[in-house]
Amino acid sequence: MARITLRQLLDHAAEHTYGVPAFNINNMEQGLAIMEAARACDAPVILQASRGARSYANDIMLAKMMEALEAMYPDIPLCIHQDHGNNVATCLTAIQHGFTSVMMDGSLKEDAKTPADYAYNVAITAEVSRLAHMVGASVEGELGCLGSLETGHGEAEDGHGFEGALDRSQLLTDPDEAARFVAETEVDALAVAIGTSHGAYKFSRKPTGEVLAMDVIERIHDRLPDTHIVMHGSSSVPQEWQDVFNAHGGEMRETYGVPVEEIVRGIRFGVRKVNIDTDLRLAAAAAFRRVADTSRSEFDPRKFLKPAMDAMSAVCKARFEAFGTAGNASRIKVVPIAEMARRYASGSLKPQTAQSQAA
Ligand SMILES: O=C(CO)COP(=O)(O)O
Ligand SMILES: O=C[C@H](O)COP(=O)(O)O
Ligand SMILES: [Zn+2]
Ligand SMILES: [Zn+2]
């Protein structure tokens, strides 16, 4: 059994300078596809469930599925993470269902739409850290609003995110504020805003530094060398899967994601968790469409879902290899969550920031 906390996994990733993709999961096919890829690559895994995933699949179904995956792949350290928690209850009920890590996204208010101010964000994130750490679970916070530097708008996807205009300062995490935030909230990982957004439509052309601010990652890493940085909206939206999708009746307009090489550069500067949902959705939907289009008499769902799983696995393997995750599963000895709780209580996992050292 190898259920690992995000904190232990990202500490290992930092020590060995690699990144870990965090794949969103809603169903069995995604779970199996990701774990098969992980086994083939000897990679540790982060499976994350959004609030939407929890209501789609039901908490009990998700929890039992995670248990099944853990039993089927005992050699793969498996972190189960709440993606974009909107309040304390969402985070605590996730932990109640066996999640080893939660994101308290206090960059938005509870409606997951309205940008929150700094004081609100600090207060609610610190509260989640205090509670989660008591039981050894890890916490990711977010500072800055996801959205496009190209359009100057926040992003809204599946009812999540702010839709209106934002100025550049709101769309980019401020490194000094990040240092204060980490010291005040004691989060284990920090999600930052650098011009990425959720979903398929991130950039209208291959992004340059103007619209994908990787330099902000470098500045945050300078300020907070020991903080694990999280990149949201990090799908690359592979052209080859867009082509398959469009060749079989899909209508995806021209779009560009986050180039894998930019993520790899981020990993050199403290990016440890890389959130990917869209790429697996796109690969699965494209493979599914191809079967529907080319085998028109087919009606066995497994004949659609197996190619979809293979397509997702291929994307996962490519990311495990590119991010350096591959080969690390067998190098990790999982620390039980109860031991993590003791370490938090002893103070040994407190973030090392200039603020905390001055205090
Ligand atoms: O950030 C994400 C989940 O939190 C997923 O981002 P993508 O939509 O780019 O896959
Ligand atoms: O927003 C993050 C992920 O892409 C999850 O999306 P979802 O809320 O549609 O499940
Ligand atoms: Zn989403
Ligand atoms: Zn996200």
pLDDT of residue 160: 84
Residue range 45-62, pLDDT digits in tens:
999 999 999 999 999 999
276 among annotated binding-site residues: yes
Identified catalytic residue from 83, 174, 188, 279: 83
188-210-174-113 Cα dihedral, nearest 10 degrees? -70
Pocket perturbation via mutation, ligand 1, pick of 278, 279, 281 by most ligand atoms within 8 A of CB = 278
- Give the mean pLDDT per block of 10 residues along the chain (359 residues): 94 98 98 98 98 98 98 98 98 98 98 96 98 98 96 86 89 97 98 97 96 97 98 98 98 98 98 98 98 98 98 99 99 98 97 67
Is 160 touching ligand 2 by the criterion CB < 6 Å? yes
Is 232 touching ligand 2 by the criterion CB < 6 Å? no
pLDDT of residue 352: 82
Output the furthest CA–CA distance in the chain (Å, rounded). 69
pLDDT of residue 157: 78
- Residue minimizing CA distance to atom 6 of ligand 1: 233
Neighbours of 163 (CB within 10 A): 12
Asked about 83 being catalytic, the answer comes back as yes
Would strands 153-154 and 147-148 be described as parallel, antiparallel, or unpaired? Answer: antiparallel
pLDDT of residue 358: 57
Atom of ligand 2 lying closest to residue 161 CA: 1
Give the number of the ligand closest to the Cα of residue 145: 4
Q: What is the ipTM of this complex?
A: 0.95
pLDDT of residue 171: 94
pLDDT of residue 1: 65
Q: Kindly report the pTM of this predicted structure.
A: 0.97
Residue range 298-338, pLDDT digits in tens:
999 999 999 999 999 999 999 999 999 999 999 999 999 99
- In the chain, where are the structural domains located? 6-347
Q: In this structure, which residues have their CB less than 5 angstroms from ion ligand 4?
A: 232, 275
Q: Which residues does 210 contact at the CB level (< 8 Å), separation at least 6?
A: 149
The verdict on domain 6-347 having CATH code 3.20.20.10 is no
Distance 10 CA to ligand 4 centre (A): 17
pLDDT of residue 94: 98
pLDDT of residue 354: 64
Give the number of the ligand closest to the Cα of residue 199: 1
pLDDT of residue 93: 98
